[in-house]
Structure 1
Amino acid sequence: MTRHRLFYMALILILAIVLLFGVWFVMWWTLQQPKAHPLAGQAKPDESAEELLKRTLDTPEIVTNLYSGNFIRIQFKLVLDSKKTREELETRMFQVEHAAIALLSSLTPDDIRGERGLRNVEEKLKARINALLPTGRVERVITTKKMVQ
């Protein structure tokens, strides 16, 4: 009988340790610093809204066919690293439009669907525009209008 009693006590002790570890892990996991949302943190420290606006640029509304035959009407706001980059991109806007059309024409509506799809398009477009710039860079591409038909 003492053997069974010793076995049950050991089993209870092991279960208690596993339970405590589980509680500790859940608390540790939930109390970690949350990662910044990809849409957050556009302004530089100590930058006013007016200063941020001076280094953003709106693309014209772009209408093009998707790979699937559907069409998309879309517009972007480009957050740039400086006013000088804004001036550079204003003169290269036709190249920005071409980069957007080339990217969008290789996608289907499913590729653009949802937050993840939209973020993917924004990141790819950002990389293509940055490749056009000899100096400066696009910090973020934000979709301001989107309609797929």
Structure 2
Amino acid sequence: MNRKLVKILVSVLIVLTILGIVAFVVILNVSGEQKDSSELSLDEMVEYSFTTSDMNTDLKDGSFVRIQFQIITDSKKAKEEIQKREFQLKNIFIKESVEMVEKDLQSGLTGLEDRMKKKMNELMLEGNIKEVYVVGKIIQ
């Protein structure tokens, strides 16, 4: 082969390798930024959160519970929507608590929070609920 042709081929391979490495680095950084942007900062969590009023209901075993939730949404519009849908949130909680006993609320709060989040997200039109936290609970 011609020396000039070999130099051109080596140059092209080097350029393609460098472009491949640059593309790989850019793709990793861009996808990493998208994952980070989906996470809310603490200030955003506070800004987009809504605290329900106290909800009272009876449980299957005859106990009574008073509970309060902190709902974290992903936007201001979602926060406004969840405020308007508080009556639906209360309804979902009452339906969820029908089969619960005192013991379920002593140890199974994470499951309740997850079910509340899932069912409310099915109703949401403007944004999503990111987290549901129990912030107050009294069982009697």
TM-score, normalised relative to structure 1: 0.64
The equivalent of 1:126 in structure 2 is: 117
Alignment RMSD (CA, Å): 1.7
Structure 2 residue runs of 5 or longer lacking an equivalent are 1-37
Structure 1 48/138 Cα, relative in aligned 2: closer, same or farther at 3 Å? closer
The equivalent of 2:93 in structure 1 is: 100
Distance (Å, rounded) in 1 between the aligned partners of 2:124 and 2:48: 15
Distance (Å, rounded) in 1 between the aligned partners of 2:64 and 2:122: 26
Give the deviation of 1:128 after TM superposition: 1.3
Which stretches of structure 1, 4 residues or more, deviate above 6 A after TM superposition?
Answer: none
Aligned length: 103
Distance (Å, rounded) in 2 between the aligned partners of 1:89 and 1:48: 19
Q: Letter of the 2:80 partner, please give it.
A: E
Structure 1 118/48 Cα, relative in aligned 2: closer, same or farther at 3 Å? closer
CA deviation vs aligned residue, 1:73-104 (integer Å, no higher than 9, x gap): 10000011111100111111111111111112
CA deviation vs aligned residue, 1:32-85 (integer Å, no higher than 9, x gap): xxxxxxxxxxx935x352x32110001110010011111101000001111110
Q: Secondary structure at the match of 1:127?
A: helix
The equivalent of 2:23 in structure 1 is: none
CA deviation vs aligned residue, 1:91-122 (integer Å, no higher than 9, x gap): 111111111111122211121222xx111111
More helix, by proportion: 2
The equivalent of 2:28 in structure 1 is: none
Distance (Å, rounded) in 2 between the aligned partners of 1:48 and 1:75: 20
Q: Letter of the 1:120 partner, please give it.
A: G
Percent sequence identity over aligned pairs: 30
The equivalent of 2:81 in structure 1 is: 88
Structure 1 residue runs of 5 or longer lacking an equivalent are 1-42
Matched, 1:140 2:131: yes
Structure-to-structure mapping, 1:72-83, within 5 angstroms: 72-83=65-76
Distance (Å, rounded) in 1 between the aligned partners of 2:115 and 2:131: 11
Kept after mapping to 1: 8 A contact 2:77/2:126 = no
TM-score, normalised relative to structure 2: 0.68
